[in-house]
Amino acid sequence: MSTPLSVLDLTPVAAGTTSAGAVANTIDLARRADGWGYGRYWLAEHHNTATMACPAPEVLIGHVASATEHIRVGAGGIMLPNHSPLHVAEAFRLLEALHPGRIDLGLGRAPGTDGVTAHALRRGAQGADDFAQQLAMLLAFTDGGFPPDHPYSRVAAEPAGVPLPPVWILGSSDYGARAAAEFGVGFAFARHLNPRGAAEQIAAYRTAFRPSPDVPAPRVILALSAVVAGDADEAAFLAGSMADAMIRMRQGRPVPLPSPEDAAATAYTPDERDQIRRYLRAQVLGDAAEVRARIDELAHECQADEVMVMTLLHDHEARCRSYEALAAA
């Protein structure tokens, strides 16, 4: 049986275009994905980067949900240390009120940016180490979980009477797996960030999972990067755009996605070429049947309930064709 598929969108900015155009492309792809039968459409949070244009996923989620009819829309994710737990709870309760039964709340602990920008976002006050405490507070604001003597015992997230959307913890290490299991929420493993640890961390999550009132059993999403084209060579050529952008981000100089032609013509150092080889090995590349088969294989190996596909290409129509062909496979 084929694995259910969803979309992870980082709102990529292509060289020669604008960030506003990237946002418009996100809305366009979401509409198409809704028609192609994808189950979810998640939006990531990134700041101060020329490569991606979604610093406020809660805003874009509302627009995507309004532009679509059936697909679930969510954050993949909200970087919780950047935000007040009460604000996140209220923003997503409001989204749930506007789009009942269609919103997801994915939470991560990474900054989604460089250290200086993270300091500015957080006013220098907090870091990822208090993620568990922040998550506990977020949940307490929505379920009355503060004890009577707590300073926040009379504070409740608005709008009242609206459930918090399903919570997922995003991770690429054992921390995310342990936190998701402890809190009894869903776990989304970022295989595109850590291709070697997926099966082990998902198994650890399933073993340690503690049922919660809303999530009685483990639920797992495997997020991965894939490109569908005429064949694996063409897919690798197209993926060269993101490979180049990945190198620039690691060097602290993020750039818009170059064209695959420009990426292929770049004179890389031996170390950069090695990084590109390793990056491409972590991708799922090929024609539609090959990519679909590999996705189903990975889902089975990792005990994933569904797979969330990230496709970052310079050309918007090529990106759409990749998702359309995968959905049809």
> In this structure, what CATH number is given to the domain that contains residue 100?
3.20.20.30
Q: Please, which pLDDT band fits residue 112 given cuts at 50, 70 and 90?
A: low
The Cα–Cα gap between 72 and 99 comes to 9
Taking a C-beta distance cutoff of 8 angstroms, is the pair 211, 217 a contact?
yes
The Cα–Cα gap between 248 and 146 comes to 45
- Residue 111: predicted pLDDT: 77
Q: Is the previous residue joined to 77 through a cis bond, with omega within 30 degrees of 0?
A: yes
- Could you report the per-residue pLDDT of 285-329, keeping only the tens digit for each? 999 999 999 999 999 999 999 999 999 999 999 999 999 999 999
The Cα–Cα gap between 320 and 309 comes to 12
The Cα–Cα gap between 167 and 153 comes to 22
- Residue 121: predicted pLDDT: 79
Give the range of the structural domain holding residue 33, as residue numbers without chain letter: 5-328
Burial of 104 (0-12, 13-18, 19+ CB in 10 A): buried
- Residue 227: predicted pLDDT: 98
Q: Please, which pLDDT band fits residue 196 given cuts at 50, 70 and 90?
A: confident
Averaged pLDDT, 230-254: 94
Residue with tokens 């900054």: 111
Cβ neighbors of 50 (< 8 A, separation 6 or more) are 13, 254, 255, 256
- Could you report the per-residue pLDDT of 33-87, keeping only the tens digit for each? 999 999 999 999 999 999 999 999 999 999 999 999 999 999 999 999 999 999 9
What does the buried/exposed string (b/e) look like for 114-127 if buried means 16 or more CB atoms within 10 Å of the residue's CB? eeebbeebeeeebe
The Cα–Cα gap between 286 and 226 comes to 9
pLDDT over threshold 60, residue 126: no
The Cα–Cα gap between 113 and 231 comes to 34
Q: How many domains does the chain have?
A: 1
- Residue 321: predicted pLDDT: 98
The Cα–Cα gap between 129 and 169 comes to 15
Residue with tokens 């049986």: 1
Averaged pLDDT, 152-179: 95
Extract long-range pairs of 67-71: CB within 8 Å, 24+ residues apart.
67/27, 67/30, 67/31, 68/30, 68/31, 68/33, 68/34, 68/41, 69/34, 70/34, 71/30, 71/33, 71/34, 71/38, 71/39, 71/40, 71/41, 71/102
Taking a C-beta distance cutoff of 8 angstroms, is the pair 205, 288 a contact?
no
Beta bridge partners of 254: none
pLDDT over threshold 70, residue 128: no
Average pLDDT of every residue of the chain: 95
Q: Alpha helices, DSSP H only, in the chain?
A: 19-36, 57-67, 85-98, 115-121, 131-143, 174-183, 198-208, 232-250, 260-265, 270-281, 288-302, 316-328
